[in-house]
Chain A
Amino acid sequence: MHRDKDRYLSIILISPSILAVLIFVYGFIAWSVRVSLSQWKGLNPDYTWAGLTNYINLFSDPRFLVDVRNTLIFTGVFVIGCILLGFILAVMLDQGLRGEGFFRSLFLFPMAISYIVTGVVWRWLMNPAEGDRLSGFNLLFSYLHLDFLINKWHTTETWGIAAIALAAIWQMSGYTMAIYLAGLRSIPDELREAARIDGASEFQIYRHIILPLLSPVTLSALIILGHMSLKVFDLIIAVAGKQLPLDVPAIYMWQTTFDGLFYGRGAAIGILLLVSVAILIIPYIRYTLRTEAQQ
């Protein structure tokens, strides 16, 4: 009896947020799907059925193909960079050095900054000007007589987006470090000691004991970083504005919808973004729920 009362109360208490999520998240997803299947172009809604035309056109749209290529390059560089750098930083901090707390905050700090700020600063640092107008990193390289390092950064052909990923790595590798550090701390010292007694070198310990035990951490990092990079928008806008060589699906969606009034096409890009993030996230959520249930 008492139990039932609790249950009703909890349902009543939770219902406003469930309702809000249903309307404002799932309702609008459904509406976007509907728009993406329509011919809507212009300011006034037009729900004339267009089937999958918007989607099919996107896959032969040279701009969207540039976007896909850019997203793949960005994701690859960003995720691998963050994981490598985050892991190395975590291992270094895990050696029990003095002032660990200070360094931990130092590396984590960039995460507290908004992408817009990071973007503006890196825009100055990655200034590609030549000759007398050298500045930022390129000027530094020139002072250090490392002229061969001077490059065009984000204005490099095809690979320019990788320069943007550098700024994102700077911002997010501290966060990756924190996840890895937590993972490292949860590995019992006994395991390392046992391995040492068996005559394993430090490298072998990392290779055969630490890394396998950290694989769930790596998976989490991969998924968190991966879905962030699929949705990247503000960082690119802050570094380069709306320019096609650094275009990604999110920017195309914004421009084509609000500047070009192609609502149908914009919704289709949005749905494709949602699907690509879902492909990454849903298996992970299921896996987490299942392991939690087992525990």
Chain B
Amino acid sequence: MSKSKLYSLMTVLMIAMLVLSACGGGAKKVEVFSWWTGGGEAAGLEAMIKVFNEKNPNIEFINAAVAGGAGTNARAVLATRLQAGDPPDSWQGHAGQELIGTYVAGNQIQPLNDLYESEGWLSVMPKTLIPLISQGGNIYSVPVNIHRANVLWYNPAVLSANGVDVPTTMDEWFAAMDTLQAAGVTPLALGEQWTKMHLMETVLLGTLGPDKYNGLWDGSTDWGSAEVTTALENFQKALTYTNSDSASLSWQDASQLVVNGDAAFNVMGDWAEGYFRELGKSPMADYGWAPVPGSVGVFQFLSDSFVLAVGAPDEDGAMAWLKVAGSKEGQEAFNPVKGSICARTDCDKNLFGEYLQSAMDDWSSNTVVGSLTHGVVANDSWKSEIDTALGLFIQNNDLATFQSALVAACASSGPCK
């Protein structure tokens, strides 16, 4: 009750703000909505706003950021605004189906193909990326940054003390974790429920390979098939190597187990690297990284991107913002501060640290596939059904029921018929 009151209050305040700013005369302005309110994200946004203001001194930038973890609050506020017919000019969203499934279906964002062509972005962004942020040939958002989901973080000292090499296949990984478990080391650090979904998607990718993995999301790979069963069995097996208190750990807690030497491996997106640096750890000495076993040569990405609203109050302002968001200058201002890499492949490598440089190399050369947990491959409804099925599976460990729930989720909310 009090939460919904808070939202209506915030909505009222925002509308009041809009009305007030509308009284300021005919000056051009652009309102950009995001959940970047703290840490490197907010600093990165500020840096990008600075670039925007230099290029567009006559357009006022209104930063309509709403605080709250991973945008849950912001998205509820945005939904309220869109239902009230009061869209911001542009808003942040995870590139891919999270945006497309929700806002294209609701006819609330516009295709940006012309912008991509006039700015020449098609030649500076990876070819395998474009289909993942498009629907029916239309590109719907401008990715600002890229994170990698399929990263296996490891503690080099723990591995060498137990005579274990960095694994590149599922079998090697399981063999390594058997050795570590026998030596009394926690082989794989894991956190709360969404980090389990993150682990699941990387194991699906590592077992099925990029083509079959992509097929899961466009309906060409059967969720009920034997190969998916094998992948889920691998996931089930991976769970047996994890710490017993995973349900009470955040992703930070789980990643920290690795750099502290309490666990050998952790699968987490590459924002973990920014966290390791905050802890004062150094690359290759305190932590190492590799693609999740079985996914070498594949870059499982997620990205924050910006869209153009249907009925944007100031469409020119929004276009000016999107041009900055996709430009080399804008992305070079944002990403080193945020701790991510550019969606463009032509950013200056010297601006980035050791890990990010290696990620940039992979980004421009690997096959790109999308992340489930972070909104690229499945729409919100589908993802939430998968999340429920996963939560039940973690409780009852019943693989057959889990797989049939996944088949049902794809039929009810995905492309499967």
Contact = CB atoms under 8 A, between A and B. Distances in A.
Contacts of B381: 41-42, 260-262
Contacts of A245: 247, 391, 394-395
Contact of B395 (A44, A132, A244, A261): A244
Interface in B224-270: 243-245, 247-248, 262
A43 B245 contact: no
Place the interface of chain A in its size category: 35 or more
Contacts of A62: 392
Which of B245, B248, B262, B394 is packed against the most chain A CB atoms within 10 Å?
B248
Contacts of A256: 384
Contact of A243 (B103, B192, B243, B244): B192
B108 A43 contact: yes
Contact of B244 (A41, A123, A132, A152): A152
B245 A155 contact: yes
B248 A123 contact: yes
Interface string B16-44: 00000000000000000000000000000
B262 A133 contact: yes
A47 interface: no
Given A42-B102, A44-B106, A245-B394, A130 B380 contact: no
Contacts of A128: 244-245, 247-248
B248 A129 contact: yes
Contacts of B102: 42-43, 261
Interface stretch (B72-80, B125-133, B283-291, B297-305): B72-80
A241 B247 CA distance: 9
Interface in B52-96: 72, 75-76, 79, 82-83
B79 A258 contact: yes
A242 B380 contact: no
B391 A63 contact: yes
B223 to A, nearest CB: 18
Contacts of B314: none
A259 interface: yes
Interface of B is mostly: helix
Interface in A244-268: 244-245, 247, 255-256, 258-262
Interface in A86-119: none
B388 interface: yes
Contacts, number: 96
B392 A152 contact: no
A66 interface: yes
Interface string A199-224: 00000000000000000000000000
B245 A129 contact: yes
Contacts of B83: 43-45
A157 interface: yes
A240 interface: yes
Given A243-B247, A258-B75, A63 B392 contact: yes
A171 interface: no
A245 B120 CA distance: 49
Nearest to A247: B391
Contact of B384 (A127, A157, A255): A255
Contact of A157 (B72, B192, B395): B395
A262 B248 contact: no
Interface string A224-243: 00000000000000001111
Which of A127, A128, A242, A260 is packed against the most chain B CB atoms within 10 Å?
A260
Nearest to A114: B2
B315 to A, nearest CB: 21
A132 B387 CA distance: 32
Contact of A244 (B76, B108, B193): B193
Contact of B192 (A41, A133, A241): A241
16 contacts: A42-B105, A43-B102, A63-B391, A129-B248, A130-B244, A240-B247, A241-B192, A242-B194, A243-B192, A244-B388, A244-B394, A244-B395, A245-B247, A258-B72, A259-B384, A260-B383
Q: Sort A-B residue pairs by CB-CB distance and give the 7 closest, nearest first.
A: A244-B391, A260-B384, A43-B106, A155-B247, A128-B245, A243-B193, A44-B106
Interface of B: 72, 75-76, 79, 82-83, 102-103, 105-108, 192-194, 243-245, 247-248, 262, 380-381, 383-385, 387-388, 390-392, 394-395
Given A123-B248, A128-B244, A260-B384, 5 more contacts: A43-B106, A244-B394, A245-B391, A260-B383, A261-B381
